[in-house]
Each structure stands twice: as C-alpha cells, then as structure tokens.
Amino acid sequence: SSGMHPGLTVESEIDCHDVGAIFPCPLSGYFFVQKKGLNSGCIIMKVSKEHNLTALEEISIDSVVDENMNVHNTIPSFQNVRAVLTQMNVLSVKEFQLKDDLTTRCVIVSQYGSAYALVILCLMQGKFTIDYSHIIGSLDDGQMIDRESLFSLSFVENLDASKSAFAGHDLCLGCVWSSGYASIFNISTQRVWTVKELIISKDVANNGSNMNLNREDINKSRFYDNGRIAAIDVFDIADSIFDNKVYGNGTNGKDKEDAAVKSSSEEFNFDEDDWELYVDGDVNVSSDNSNPNHRMEGEKYMEASEMAPSRYNSLAGYVSGAGLSKRHKTVLAITRQSGQLDIYDVSKLFSLSESMVRILSDEELNSHASLWKTRSGCGQGVSSLSQSSTNTRYPISQESFPAEIRFFFCGPSESVKPDDTRDLTLLRSLCLLVETNQGDTHLYTATKSHTNGELSFKRVPLHLVSRPSRDEKRHKDKLMRKGIAKVSGENDAKYRNNRLHRFFSISGEDGLFAATSRPMWFLSERGAPSVVNHRLRHCAPAGGADVPISGFCSGFYLDLQKNHAGFITVHERIGRVGSQRLTLFNGLSDVFTTHGILTGKGTCVEKIPLGVTVRRIEYIDDPSISNISHPIFAMLVSREVDVVQSDLNDDGITEQERNRLKEEKERQKMAKQVEADLGGFDVEHEWVEQIERDDCFEIEKRYGGAPSIPKSRYELWIMDSCNWDILDTFQFDEFEHGMTMKSLSLSDIPPDMTGSSNNADDEMLHDEAQFLAVGTGVIDEDGEDVSSRGRIILFQLRRTGDRTAKFELELHFVYDKDISLGPVTALNCLTCEGKSRLVVGAGAEITLEQWGSDKLTQVGFFHCYMQVQDVIIFKNFILLSDAYDSLHFLVYRESDKSLTLLAKDYEPTCMYAAGLLSRGGSLSFVCHDDRQNLTFLSYAPREVAARGGNKLVSKADCHLGTHTTALNSHFCRSSLIINSATIDSSLVALKQQDPLYGKADDDQRFGLHYGTADGGFGFITPINEGTYWRLAALQSVTSNALESDCSLSHRAWRLYRRSTRRGGCKSNDRKKGVIDGDLVMRYVDLSIPEQEDLASAIGSTVDLILDNLLDLSLSSSCC
C-alpha cells in the first residue's frame, strides 16, 4: 500500500465494478466517479465521518437532481442534469467558484455520440442545476475545423496550492483531438456565460528547420516530421519563471549578481574552493533572475535557512519556489509528435482575437504569445530540453512521442500550517514529467542559468523501467483468447483519461502521482526529486486492464485543522476481470515522518530511534500472535551501561594497614621469585599472574578514584511495529551475550528410551509448538581465561488480557540448556518426514536437538574445523558456513539421524555471510568473504572440477565493494504481480487465470537481498542464460561508451580481490559471470538514439533490452 503500515494509512475501502477516473470536488464534499460503459454517466460519492470512523458513501442521483428532470427522452439533452449525469459519457469534472460568489460550481465535459459539450453545474441547496451548456463546434460559423474525436484534456491548475487561480479568474481548459489539433477554451462570465475557443494547428512552419539538423539517420523514417499535437497541459505559475532577463542593464547585471551572491556567501563562510565550486559555476541561488527585488526576497529566504542554497540540492541551479514573483500567469504547454515542446501565455493568446472560435496561425503563436520552446527531444529521453539545443538526433526504429505531460512543484507544501514560520520554499523544485506512448516516464527538473537567465530542463536519472513488459502483453492476449478479458476493437473510444495527477498537502508534500503501469509517487527528498513505488492490496494480475490504477484524486481533508489531505484510488482487484476497489487513504505518513528517507529507485526507509543496538530482528510468523494490524517483531538488543566502581575507592582499611599489606605482598613476591629462579619454575604460573593483577588495581583517589567502565547488557524485546511499543522484555545474565535468534516450530517427540527405532512412532503425527529460540555466549568475569560456553533459551509468546481492548503480549520462559562446546552462534529448524528439530551451531560443532518431554535432547552432530558462522537449511540439506573455512554442504538422513558431508569449498576463506540462490531446479551457494567478494558455488558432482563430487565448484565471482553480515532470500516477483502488496492473494488469482504459470524456471526464482555496513541495500537475482549473455554484451559496451566516475574502470572494480594466501599471483582463477546491475541500468536513462546505438552494437533491439532490464529490476524488488 502507500505506507509501510496499511492499517494506519487506509481509512476506508469499497468494492466496485467497471469504473474509471475520479474527479474531486472538495468544496462541495463530493467526488465524481466515471463509469466505463458507453453512455453510462457517473457515480457521485462523498466522504462521510461518523463516530470517528471515515467511510466512502455513494449518493443517489435523485437526491442531488430536481425531480422534475425528465430522462425518458430518446436523445438525451445537454440541458438536462439527470441526462448528463446518467446517460452520457462524463469525461472530466472541475470545481470552481466565481468572484464575490461563494456558490460552488463545476464544469463537466460530457460526450454523447460524436458531440462534446461543456456543461456548467451550480450546486444550490444540495441540488445541481445547469447554468450553461456549450456544445463544442456549435460556434464554428462555417469554418471547416476537423476536430474528430477527443483524445485528452487538461483543466488549468495552480502549481502553488496556497494561491487560488480560479476565484475571480477565467477558467481554462485544453483539449487534444485525434486529428492532431489542440483547443484551448476560456470560460468566463460577465452576467452572461462566454466560452471562447482557440485552435492550434498540427502543421508547424518551423518543421523545415529539421533540414539544419543532423538528419542522416532520420531520413529513413518520416515519423518525426509529423507536427501532430500529442499532449497538452494548462497550469498557473509565477510569471518570473519564464522571464529570461538578467539583473541590471547590459554587462554590469552579471557583476551585480556576483556581488549579491558573494555577499550572501560570506555569511556561509565560503572559502576560495567553495566560491569556485558553488558560485562561479552555473549555479542559480535564486529562482528569479529578472528582478532585483525578487533577488532580495530570495536572499531573505537564504538568511532564514542558515544553509548554502546551492547545497540544498545535488541538482545545482534548479528552479525552486523561493523568490518567485507575486504575479501569476496561465500557461499552455503543448508537445508534438516530432518532440517539439511549446509554452505559451494564455492571456496573450486570447488577446489576439475577439471571435468565439479561431484557428491561430504559427506566426501569431511564435511572435505574440511564445514563452519558451524546444524544437525536439521531448518524449525521446534527451538529457536536456532547452531553447538553444539545435542538434538533436531522432530515433530510427523507435516511434516514441509524449502521450501526457505535467508540470509540477515537488517539495514541502506551502499550505500545510498557517502558523508555521519556517520557510521551505528552497526545497521545492519545478519539475516536468513526460509519459510516452510506449509507457516510459522521463522526469526533468527546471534549471536557470545565472548568466543569461535561460531556462532549461535537465533529465533526472531514475534507473527505473516503467513500460509494460512482454509478459503482460502475452498474458493479456491469453485472457482475450479465453474470453476472460474484453477484446479491444477499432470502435472503442479513443479518449484517454489522465494518468499524471498533481497532488497538494499530502503528508505535507506537493508532488505528482503517476498512475502508469508501475504506479509511482514523485516526491522530494531535501529538494531533489525522488520516486516511491505504490503497492496495492489484493491487486489483480497485470493484463486485465491497461493500468492497475484507473482513478486518482486528492484534496479531501480528513482532519479538522486541514493540515494534511487524503487521497482516493481505484485499482483493479482480484476476482473476475473488471472488479475494482475504491480506497481512501489519510496520507503518506510513514514516508514523511521525521526519520523518513527516500532512498530512490522506488523505495523508502523509515528510521525508528530505539536508543539501543539491534543485534538480531525476527518477524513472528504466527497468525495467532502477529497480524496485519499488529505485526510483531522480536529484537535481540544490547545497550551500553556505565558500571560504577566506587566500591574500589574505599576498601575499609587504614593507610598504615594498606602499606603493611603492600610490603607483605612484596616480600612474598620476592621469595617466590627467588624460589622460581633456584628451582627452574616457569614464571607464567598462576601466582605470578595473580601478583601482576593485584598491581593493576591500585586506586589513586587524588585523580578521582576508580573510573566507571562500559559494559554491554543484552535484552530480548517484543515490539508491536504498529506504533513501535515494547510489549515485553527479557534481560540476560550479566556476562551473557546474545548471539543469534530464530522464530521456529518444533515437534514434540517423546525420547526413545530403548534406543531402537519405532516405526509406529515415525509414522504418527507430532504436535507442533511455536518457539522463539535464542542462542547466547557466556564469557567469564575475568575474560577468556577458560573457553566460553553457550546457552539455548526457548520462549513462547502468549496473548494476555482482553483481546478486544489493548493489544498485549507476554514473553514466557520455557526452557534453557547449557552448551559447553562454545557460544551458540547459529540456530535453525530442520523438518524431515514431518518432524521438526532444532539445529544448533556452537563452537566448531553443530548438533541436532530434539524437543520432547519439555526438554532438548541431542540426537545428532557434525564437527567442522574452526567456528560455525551460520546454518542455512532447505529440505533435508544443510549449508554450513565456517568463519575461517568457507562452506560445507551436508545432508541429513532420518533413518539413522546422521549428518553427512557431501562437498565443501577447500579454499580457506574467512566467511562473513552465506545464502542460497535458486532458479527452477538449479541451486547456487553464495558466500561473502572478508575481502568484500561474492563467490557463487554449486554442487556438481559430475564435473571434473568437483574432484569426484567432494568439492563445491565455483561458477562465478565478483567484487561487491562493501561488507555485509547476512544474505536473506526473497521470492522474485514477475511483472504480473509486482504492483501487489499482498503477493499470496495475487499469485493465487494469477494461477486461476493461467494454470500454466509457475511451471517455467523464471517463475520459480529466489534471489538474495542484503544490507551493507555503510548503509546501503542491494539485491542478487538469478537470470536465464539468454538474458545473461545479452546483458553481458550490454555491460561491455556500456562500460566503454559511458563516462565513469573519476575515469575509473567498472570492469576492474568488479574483479575478484584475492588475498596472498589464496594465490594472489594467479590471474586465471577469476570466473566473473556476474552482471553489474548499477552499470546496465544506466542504459534506461539514455536517450532513445543512444539506446539504439548500444543495442545495434550488440546485435539486439531496444525493446528486448528494456524488457530484460525491467525483469531484472522487478525481480530485485522484495518490498
């Protein structure tokens, strides 16, 4: 779901069927839900609140429409409210208010047949009435305007939610027609409603400028010569953003700016290096370069922030929300199939003509109303969109153009708390998101040069593939062949609902929600745009619909202070195709908490300050204890405490007695030393150590006496992650260290007193009991003079109190057992033939413990070489990692309860972590060593390198470059269920639709994820052979074609690092065979011509490579 805890963010859910977009009307308290059927109208709903419970409630059309409205006409009329709401296609709804009139009104764009109309409804006394209806094309006055059908539309929206753009202002609407034309409507009233329409032609005169470009390759295709308008956006923004003026007059404007920057930088203690790095470069401290007054406002923001402005954002020179002018203008942005992006001033457009309908010429657009233009590149993934770019290459084989564009501010909302005096406008970035017809998303952030004030948009690398996969298309074709999904025909409506939605004040943030095939939130992390994936509860498998989320709206405040807005989504849920779920969220509270971090690549992190060091964490996977509303975790923690030694300052004797005892000890020491010299005794005797130890504890009170010493105290915590409350604790002994912990189930097997096998007992079913097992190590008070020992402790969790009231748990001590072999460093559960036993790793030995008669009994063992690091179990096989002697592969036989060594790695490797990697029937062992390497081993007894099957064969290796202590397994999700937050239910639904799913090897993959010592998070994923060789070739050409950091070699960085004892002089032992995901994912953020160049270099296609990268990124997602 949207947050980490769906129980906290989901307010209400309701099931529905065949609905589309959602249109909010927060002033009236309603929201309109579009029906997908032909001429089906819409549903009116509202958010109700009773007894502190929030719910979604459907409103009857009869309750908001006058009873006198007749709907039984053969042809519905645009003058009839009931007909508009129930018998026509409702394409879009926009709420607004007039100046000096608080009456709520809304504009509905409705369609019946080939006719389109703008219907203005007025809400008075709870009833909707029609103020005015305008049929599009009715005022053409004989002009031959070929609009055809409506493709998309966009209502004007203010990018700053704290400023209203519609109270007393004209309402604007932009439309894109299937013929390639675009219309901009202006709705105004001066006692009489007036609707003006300006039409922008698809024929562009400056297309001939392509002759000046490098068109050697583009001549093969005429696709990008088409000037058809593809997407449109209308928004209200500060007029200073598109002003290209610099300070002052002439050349001294630059000097004035440098002086202003230098004066402000002195406050931040800039040295010469800072001045060269942050000021002399192309860095814009303020976003308004046109007016010195605005510049002074920006300096005030900088003084309040106490931070160098250029250090707010890694994208230096970005356009922020600070220092913007108070004047706003309505702006029209259109993109064409050729990749051209034009931005016009709407007020100047309508000042060109007084007629109600007019087709604007290209000369009028460019000479009178043009604010900004780039000739090509929009929708083609270029790295920069600017007015000065004139040499853009066009793709050869890919036909990509913008299907939808949205401008938005990304960052803290300015209308969160009116009493909040903090200024966070510098953390707001002006961004542009482009969605192409192929499903790709390109994010740009606006930058402005402080030398000439030129505005440009720089692409932000996301390393994400957002287009639909080939598996989705194949699954959709299969559903259509089976008759489960509807077969799309040529007569289907061409209208496309908006998928890019701006939002305001959700958890204190402004940004954009992209309801694409991979739903994403575009948010701000300290001023830099970032992405967070949106997961859906009980989401239907991909293929039944074009996108998983068909509707989104925000603006509903669920609290009385109106600080944070909620949002509503409509997504495809499991069930028959067309089943949907309407969900109301109260925000993204988990993402934007005080300790929330947006890490990029679609993930987010919430830090929970506990004040202790967490050594182990384990989820209690027991339905009777842990559930979705109260996930329970067990934590093995340690805290540092200062032990006071004030008792050593005064031992109760006088100074004379202390001196006498000291002299007596000195005489005894001298006598024993003489005796040792004469008798030839070893000076390393216990009495010598005792004397030296006594000499160490002489207290000098004049220096403050005996100091306090730090000591670790280990505890076991049971926590409810709903609000991170500590439910119960258990404190270990003073010198006992917690080493490992495991939540497991053990079978209650009575001990066989005779020692003989009992077949009847083997076949009977044994009771299972859930335990929380903890392994500890006990160190003597004076250190490790003797070998340390260990202990196994078994706990059980029990619910206490009234289960309907406060959630309470109790940690119940069950049993403990001392282990003399050494500290217990590994625990796991081995299940074989219906019997679950405990596997214990202690010292250099693992033992098999059987639970029965309320105690643990050892029934088997295996002795390794040095120290057991970890024990990993699958089926009846055990992967044992030795801290100093690599991996051991064992098998367990139930018949004689024996552990037998099958193979091992004979290289003496220091192990840090180990894990299992599987794909279908193949299995690999992954180990991480002390030199930050990853080695991939396999059990292949028939290979020559296996030495008769006794050695684990090395298949691949690479240099990870960081340390990790655990490699945990996760199921690799396919693109069909990647959007689901509840994988189990979506997987069951997918297998019902396609019984063959899960048979292929790629459907049965388990990868590894790990956390690093430097705060990183990574994944290891198995891939098939065809994908591997394709990505290996891509990795080779990418490392040569793209610039690397500090001119270092990617290939050399990933080479296996060997120690001297492993034969460091041998260079032919490296197996390689690992794809660097960080390197190949850079291919996604290249422009399409560059992607085509690299694809042709390896003999592949862009679509195939992107599909492989998509599969790679999705299988690496475990959250």
Q: 259-278 pLDDT, tens per residue?
A: 444 444 444 454 555 545 54
Nearest to 800 by CA among 624, 935, 642: 624
User: What pLDDT score was predicted for residue 617?
Assistant: 94
| AA identity, residue 503 | F
Distance CA 525, CA 511 (A): 11
Distance CA 963, CA 707 (A): 35
Token duo for residue 136: 């599009």
User: What pLDDT score was predicted for residue 751?
Assistant: 73
Residue identified by tokens 């109600």 is 356
Token duo for residue 455: 């505005």
Q: Indicate the angle between helix axes 686-695 and 655-679, nearest 10 degrees.
A: 150
Distance CA 457, CA 544 (A): 36
The pair phi, psi for residue 540, each rounded to 5°, is -70, 150
Nearest to 780 by CA among 734, 834, 747: 734
**How many helices (H) and strands (E) are present in the chain, helices listed first?**
18, 56
Beta bridge partners of 827: 840
Residue 365 Cα to chain centre, angstroms: 42
Give the list of residues 6+ apart from residue 708 with CB closer than 8 angstroms, or none.
642, 643, 644, 645
| pLDDT digits 0-9 by tens, 444-473 | 999 887 777 788 999 999 999 999 999 999
CA angle, residues 745, 850, 869, in degrees to nearest 5: 75
How many of the other CB atoms lie within 10 Å of CB of 1030?
Answer: 22
Give the list of residues 6+ apart from residue 785 with CB closer than 8 angstroms, or none.
none
Cα torsion 77, 83, 88, 93: sign: positive
H, E, C per residue of 128-184: EEEEEEEECCCCCCCCCCCCCCEEEEEECEECCCCCCCCCCCCEEEEEEECCCCEEE
The alpha carbon torsion through 258, 259, 263, 266 (nearest 10 deg) reads 50
Residue identified by tokens 């655990």 is 966
The pTM of the full predicted model, rounded to 2 decimals, is 0.86
User: What pLDDT score was predicted for residue 68?
Assistant: 67
Distance CA 350, CA 314 (A): 40
User: What pLDDT score was predicted for residue 304?
Assistant: 35
User: What pLDDT score was predicted for residue 876?
Assistant: 92
Distance CA 23, CA 196 (A): 24
Token duo for residue 1118: 């475990």
According to DSSP, residue 725 is labeled E
User: What pLDDT score was predicted for residue 385?
Assistant: 92
Nearest to 623 by CA among 466, 788, 797, 484: 797
CB burial of 173-189 (b: ≥16 within 10 Å; e: otherwise) equals bbbbbeebbbbbbbbeb
CA angle, residues 944, 948, 951, in degrees to nearest 5: 85
Residue 172 Cα to chain centre, angstroms: 35
**For 238, what's the count of Cα atoms within 13 Å in the CB-facing half-sphere?**
22
Q: Is 1029 left (phi over 0), alpha (psi -120 to 50) or beta?
A: alpha
Which parts of the chain sit beneath pLDDT 70? 1-8, 67-73, 161-169, 204-221, 244-318, 390-391, 415-422, 487-493, 559-564, 589-590, 593, 651, 679-698, 752-764, 782-786, 801-806, 1060-1069, 1118-1119
User: How much of the chain is helix, strand and coil, in % rounded to 5?
Assistant: 20, 40, 40
User: What pLDDT score was predicted for residue 1044?
Assistant: 85
Which parts of 413-466 are beta strand (E)? 429-436, 441-448, 455-459
**For 393, what's the count of Cα atoms within 13 Å in the CB-facing half-sphere?**
15
Token duo for residue 99: 């100046």
User: What pLDDT score was predicted for residue 589?
Assistant: 66
| AA identity, residue 590 | D
Q: Indicate the angle between helix axes 1102-1115 and 1025-1041, nearest 10 degrees.
A: 110
How many of the other CB atoms lie within 10 Å of CB of 641?
Answer: 12
According to DSSP, residue 573 is labeled B
According to DSSP, residue 537 is labeled T
Nearest to 738 by CA among 790, 795, 796, 810: 790
Nearest to 481 by CA among 910, 1081, 993: 993
Distance CA 536, CA 16 (A): 15
CB 840 within 8 A of CB 819: yes
Which parts of 601-648 are beta strand (E)? 603-606, 613-619, 632-643
The DSSP-derived string for 1023-1085 is --HHHHHHHHHHHHHHHHHS--GGG--HHHHTSPP--GGG-TT--TT-------HHHHGGGGG
The pair phi, psi for residue 794, each rounded to 5°, is -110, 130
Q: What is the CA radius of gyration of the chain?
A: 35
User: What pLDDT score was predicted for residue 1077?
Assistant: 93
Nearest to 79 by CA among 135, 130, 137, 138: 130
